[in-house]
């Protein structure tokens, strides 16, 4: 029987697998085509539908005013044209009038001076405050951070009003304190009637309002620096200044540059504090580009020149930021 089985096995054709008929219902469906599954399901469209109103609102509130300002700056647009709506296209004539005005360039120089002084003081004080917070205990850190948050949360108009009363010529606490210390020349001293004094008060106000945000942000960056680096540097005998230059600042440099760029933008376009406190005066001692644009548009009813001044302000601010980021990216490329 074993011999018969072996012969039967030898007779089977080798290399030819037996073909079995597929059972009914066991056939597999064809693989999906290249376009299968790419259709947006109703559930996946919900995030876009929820975000759409916000995006449309931002486009209306940002893009439309910008486009409208560009259009007005290219027209002869005054009070008559505002009422009747028959503005005439004049091309770049408003920009030519603006750029050939000597008073405009005085305002530009004052704007950059105001921005430079504010940004330097803000970043210097914010860095010092952040370093102090890092070295405090839990109770002291909580107290300082709470005070910074409260100062940062104060509305701009309220803070400006407080500074107005602090430096009031008759009822201000600053004059009262200086007179009590023996400085009789500050008895009823009119701070807002002198250009340099009013300029200094506005610088103090902007710095006081901006330091809390910068300090809290820099402190959050300092908290991410590994403590092992400080311990190694102290073991090697490095002084505090060398530790800051070699370890601390390189580690927090990206956040520091981000805060610096934000402060440049916010300081360059400061308007509410100046308009409420001095209205650009005395004379034009505190007039910077945003204030100049509003004064030109409202006081002189030259909405075309005011729009042109606004666009020049935007272009100057963009140019400053482009130069800054170009230098930043170049330094990062060299570091890599």
- pLDDT averaged over consecutive 10-residue blocks of the chain (336 residues)? 45 47 50 52 78 88 88 89 84 91 92 94 95 90 92 91 92 91 89 92 94 94 87 84 87 89 88 91 90 88 90 86 76 60
What is the per-residue pLDDT for 239?
86
DSSP E strand boundaries for the chain: 75-76, 88-89
**CB of 160 closer than 8 Å to CB of 277:** yes
What is the per-residue pLDDT for 291?
93
Q: Which two tokens stand for residue 146?
A: 């709470």
What is the per-residue pLDDT for 332?
65
pTM for the model: 0.78
What is the per-residue pLDDT for 283?
85
The 8-class DSSP code of residue 184 comes to G
Domain ranges across the chain: 46-91, 101-335
C-alpha to C-alpha distance for 310 and 304, rounded to whole angstroms: 10
What is the per-residue pLDDT for 7?
46
Superfamily of domain 101-335: MetI-like (1.10.3720.10)
What is the per-residue pLDDT for 268?
86
**CB of 286 closer than 8 Å to CB of 206:** no
């Amino acid at each position: 029987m074993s011999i018969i089985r072996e012969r039967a096995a030898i007779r089977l054709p080798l290399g030819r697998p037996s073909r079995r008929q597929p059972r009914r219902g066991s056939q597999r469906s064809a693989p999906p085509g290249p376009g299968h599954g790419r259709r947006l399901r109703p559930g996946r469209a919900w995030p876009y539908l929820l975000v759409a109103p916000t995006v449309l609102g931002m486009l209306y509130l940002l893009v439309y005013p910008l486009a409208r300002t560009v259009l007005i700056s290219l027209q002869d647009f005054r009070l008559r044209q505002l009422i009747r709506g028959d503005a005439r296209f004049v091309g770049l004539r408003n920009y030519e009038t603006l750029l050939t005005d000597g008073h405009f360039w005085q305002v530009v120089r004052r704007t950059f001076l105001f921005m430079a002084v504010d940004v330097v003081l803000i970043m210097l004080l914010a860095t010092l405050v952040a370093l102090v917070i890092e070295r405090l205990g839990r109770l002291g850190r909580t107290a300082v951070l709470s005070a910074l948050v409260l100062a940062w949360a104060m509305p701009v108009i309220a803070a400006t009003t407080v500074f107005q009363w602090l430096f009031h010529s008759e009822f201000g606490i600053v004059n009262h304190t200086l007179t009590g210390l023996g400085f009789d020349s500050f008895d009823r001293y009119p701070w807002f009637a002198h250009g340099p004094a009013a300029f200094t008060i506005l610088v103090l106000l902007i710095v006081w309002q901006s330091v809390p945000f910068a300090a809290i942000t820099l402190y959050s960056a300092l908290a991410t620096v590994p403590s092992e680096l400080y311990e190694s540097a102290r073991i090697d005998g490095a002084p505090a200044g060398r530790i800051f230059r070699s370890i601390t600042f390189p580690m927090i440099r990206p956040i520091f540059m981000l805060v610096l760029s934000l402060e440049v933008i916010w300081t360059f376009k400061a308007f509410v504090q100046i308009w409420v406190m001095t209205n650009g005066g005395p004379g034009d001692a505190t007039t910077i580009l945003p204030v100049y644009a509003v004064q030109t548009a409202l006081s002189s009813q030259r909405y075309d020149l005011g729009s042109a001044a606004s666009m020049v302000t935007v272009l100057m601010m963009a140019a400053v930021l482009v130069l800054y980021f170009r230098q930043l990216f170049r330094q990062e490329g060299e570091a890599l």
